[in-house]
Structure 1
Amino acid sequence: MDRSQILRATAFVLLLLSFFVSLPGADAIGVNYGMMGNNLPTPEQVVSLYKSRNIANMRLFYPDSNVLNALKNSGLGVVLGTFTDDLQKLATSPSFAAEWVNTNVVPFASSVNFRYITAGNEVIPGGSASSVLPAIKNLVAALGNANLKIPVTTAVATNVLAESSPPSNGVFGSLSVMSPLVEYLQANSVPLHVNVYPYIAYADNFPSIRLDYALFTANGVVVQDGQLGYSSLFDAIVDATYSALEKAGGPNVEVVVSESGWPSGGGATGATIENAKTYNNNLIAHVQKNVGTPKKPGKNIETYVFAMFNENQKPAGTEQHFGLFNPDMTEVYQVNFTP
C-alpha cells in the first residue's frame, strides 16, 4: 500500500469513527449511580467503569465531593441532585442556595459537565412539594451569580399523574403545585425529569398488564389511543406525561426519563434476571434509535437507567436488585450501551 492509499484509508477510518461518536442517541443514555451500599467500588473505579462501558451520563442523587472529584475531566455528563432535607432551606434562604452552589458546583464546574441540577427526587406529591419551585428559583439565581448556566428542574415519580390511561387522558394531580412548576419550566425551556417504571405498573397490576407490553417485546399494538397505537408501556407512560404537561400549561416542556429499570431478583412478580436483561437492553436500544414515542415521533428521550449497582443498604426485596453490576463490578447480566 503506497502513501496515498494509507492516507485515504486513515481518512476513511477517522470518518467512520466520527460517525459512530456522533450517532444520534449515543449520548442519550445514562445510569443512576446510587451509593446505598457498604461494599461499593471507589468513585474512581466507578467512573472508569462508566467510561469502559460507553455510558455517557451519570445521575447522582446528592452531592458527594469524592465522586465529583473523580468526575473531573472524565467527559461524563452529570445530573446532580439535592438532598430532600435541604429543600426547605433551599426554598426559603437565598444565602443557603448560594452556599450550596458555591460548595457543590463552583469548585467543579470548569472540569465537570453538569447537564442538570434537580431540586429533590419524588417529593411531589408530598410534604415538601411546595418547596420545589422556590428552591429551583433560588438555585438558578445562585448559579447566575456564579456566572454558571446549568438547567435546574426536579424529578417526579409517575404517581404525580392522576390519570394516565389511555395516554391522551394524562393529567397531573396536585395541580396547585404542578401548574406553576410546569409554567416555569415552559418559560425557561427546561425539561421535567420523570421516573418511569413499567415494572412497577406491571407488578402492581398483574396480570391485567401484559409482560410483553412492559418489556418492549409485544409484536403489535396493545393499546389503541385514538389514531395512536402503543406497543410498549414505556412509551405510553412518557406520552401520558406529555399530555399532562400540555394540560398544565407546558406544551413545549420536554421529558427526561431520570430513572427506568427492572429488578433482577427480590422475589416479587416478574423480578428475574432474564426480564431485567430484556427490559434494559430493549430500553437502551429504543432510546438510542431516536424513534421517540407515538405522540412525539423522532424526539430524543434522554434516559437514565436505574441503577449501576445492587445496593445492600436499600430495603430488602426488589429494591436491592435493580443494579446492572454487582459491587465487585461484575455484570449481573450483559447490557449493551454501544449504539
Structure 2
Amino acid sequence: MATRSALRLLCHVLLAVAVAAATGDDRGKIGICHGRVGGNLPAPQDAEALLRQNGVTKARLFLPDPAVLPAFAAAGARGRGAVAAVRVLAHAPAARVRYLAAGNEVLYGDRSYAPSLVPAMRNLHAPLAAMGLEGSVRVSSAHASSVLAAGAFDPAALPVLRPMLRFLADTGAPFMVNAYPFISYANDPDNVPLDYALFGAGAAPVRDGALAYTNLFDATVDALVAALEKEGFGGVPVAVTETGWPTAGHPAATPQNAAAYNAEGGRRAAWAR
C-alpha cells in the first residue's frame, strides 16, 4: 500500500496515547492516558503499580496533580502533560518530561479559547527556554481530527493554525492529533465500512490517485501530512496522541472489536514522519 507519508513509524500507541521517551529512539514506545476526571478511579499509587506490572513507561497526564506526578515519576514513566511547565517540573524531574501540551482539542466545538492557544504555547515555551530545556521538552497542542477538511485544514481554524505551525516548525515540536476511526464509523456507517475503520483484512481499498488506503487510520494521518504540506510546513512531524476503540455504548463497541483495533492501532499509531 502506497501512502504519502509512508508512515515512518517512530512510536506506537496502545489503547489511548503514544508518549515518547525523554531521550533516545522513539520507535516502539507504548503509552497510556491518565486523567483524574471520572468515578471509581484507582489511587495514583495503584495506577503506578499497574504501569510497573505491564511494563508501561510512557504516560500522558492531563492535570498537574501533585499526587500523580511523583508516583508516575517513581514508576519510571516519561511523558507528555497538558499542564504548565513549572507546576510539572516542581513534582517530576525534567528528564522524565518530553512534551507539554497546551489544552486538548481547543479547536473542536466551542472555540472561545482558540485565540489564546498560541500565546499559551509561547508562555509554556518561555520558561523552558529560560531553564535551558527547550531542546528536550517540546510544547504543542493536541487536535481532534475534525481540524481537517478534505485533505486540507478547516479554513475556520487557519487563523490559529498558521501561527501555531510556525511555532512548531521553529521549536521542533510535532503537530499532535487525536485519531478515532470509530467516531467516523459511528457517525456515517453508510460511507465508512466497519472493516475500513477496524483495519479489517477484507476492507476494500480507497484510492486517491496513485495512493491506496485499506484503513481509515492511515488515510487520516496521510490527510494531515498533506494539509501540512499545503500550508508549507511539510517538515513538521505528526504525532498521534490518542486513538482507540470503545467496548460499550454502541453496537460496534464490543470487546472483540476493541481488541482488533487496538492490536493493530497500537502497532501503527505513531509519529508519522
Q: Same fold (TM over 0.5)?
A: yes
Distance 1:52 1:223 in 2: 40
* SS of structure 2 residue aligned to 1:72: helix
**Cα distance in 2 for residues equivalent to 1:24 and 1:59:** 15
Query: What's the TM-score, normalizing by structure 1?
Result: 0.67
Name the SS of the counterpart of 1:201 in structure 2. helix
Matched, 1:134 2:116: no
Aligned to 1:152: 139
Contact 1:183 1:249 in 2 (8 A): no
Q: 2:185, 2:174 → 1: CA distance?
A: 26
Aligned to 1:47: 48
Distance across 2 between alignment mates of 1:208 and 1:55: 36
In the other structure, the counterpart of 2:207 is: 224
Letter of the 1:158 counterpart: S
Secondary structure of residue in 1 paired with 2:100? strand
Greater shift, 62-71 or 73-82, is seen at 73-82
Which amino acid letter does the alignment assign opposite residue 34 of structure 1? G
Q: SS state of the match for residue 175, structure 1? A: helix
CA distances 1:282-332 after superposition (whole Å, capped 9, x unpaired): 111334xxxx7xxxxxxx449xxxxxxxxxxxxxxxxxxxxxxxxxxxxxx
Identity of aligned residues (%): 37
> Which residue type is aligned with residue 26 of structure 1?
G
Secondary structure (helix, strand or coil) at the match of 1:59 reads: strand
Shift of 1:30: 1.3
Matched, 1:71 2:72: yes
Question: How much does 1:185 deviate?
Answer: 0.8
1:172 aligns with 2:130: no
Indicate how the Cα distance of structure 1 residues 103 and 255 shifts in structure 2: closer, same or farther if over 3 A, else same: same
Q: How many residues align?
A: 245
Q: 1:264 to 1:185 in 2, by over 3 A?
A: same
Tell me what 1:104 maps to.
88
Q: Does the 8 Å contact 2:70/2:91 carry over to 1? A: no
Mark the CA change 1:64 to 1:145 in structure 2 (over 3 Å): closer, same or farther. same
Q: Distance in 2 between matches of 1:187 and 1:140?
A: 11
- Secondary structure, aligned partner of 1:152: strand
Residue type at the aligned position of 1:140: H
Matching residue within 193, 216, 230 for 1:233: 216
Distance in 1 between the 2:163 and 2:28 partners?
Answer: 33
1:261 and 2:261 equivalent?
no
Q: Note the C-alpha offset of 1:159.
A: 1.4
Counterpart of 2:117, as a letter, is V
Matched, 1:242 2:243: no
Please, which runs of 5 or more residues in structure 2 have no aligned partner?
1-23
After superposition, the C-alpha distances for 1:81-127 in whole angstroms (9 at most, x for unaligned) are: 03xxxxxxxxxxxxxxxxx43333244225x6111000010011511
Q: Provide the rounded CA distance (Å) in 2 between the counterparts of 1:269 and 1:186.
A: 42
Report deviation, 1:51.
2.6
Distance 1:244 1:219 in 2: 28
Q: 1:193 to 1:105 in 2, by over 3 A?
A: same
Aligned position for 1:286: 268
Q: TM-score with structure 2 length normalisation?
A: 0.83
Alpha carbon RMSD of aligned pairs, Å? 2.2
Amino acid across the alignment from 2:51:
Y
Deviation at 1:162, TM superposition (A): 2.4
- Separation in 1, partners of 2:215, 2:227: 19
| Structure ID, larger Rg | 1
1:189 aligned onto 2:172: yes
CA distance in 1, matches of 2:192, 2:38: 33
User: Contact 1:245/1:253 (CA < 8 Å) preserved in 2?
Assistant: yes
What residue in structure 2 maps to residue 81 of structure 1? 82
Q: Partners of 1:120 and 1:226 in 2: how far apart?
A: 36
Q: Secondary structure at the match of 1:249?
A: coil
Q: Which runs of 5+ in 1 are unaligned?
A: 1-21, 83-99, 164-168, 293-299, 303-339
How far did residue 271 of structure 1 move? 1.2
Partners of 1:221 and 1:229 within 8 A in 2? no
**Which residue is 2:27 aligned to?**
25
- Per-residue deviation, 1:269: 4.0
Query: What's 1:162 paired with?
Result: 149
The alignment partner of 1:209 has SS state of coil
Maintained 8 Å contact 1:262/1:279: yes
Provide the C-alpha distance between the structure 1 equivalents of 2:126 and 2:27, rounded to a whole number of angstroms: 32
Larger RCO (alpha carbons 8 Å, 6+ apart): 2
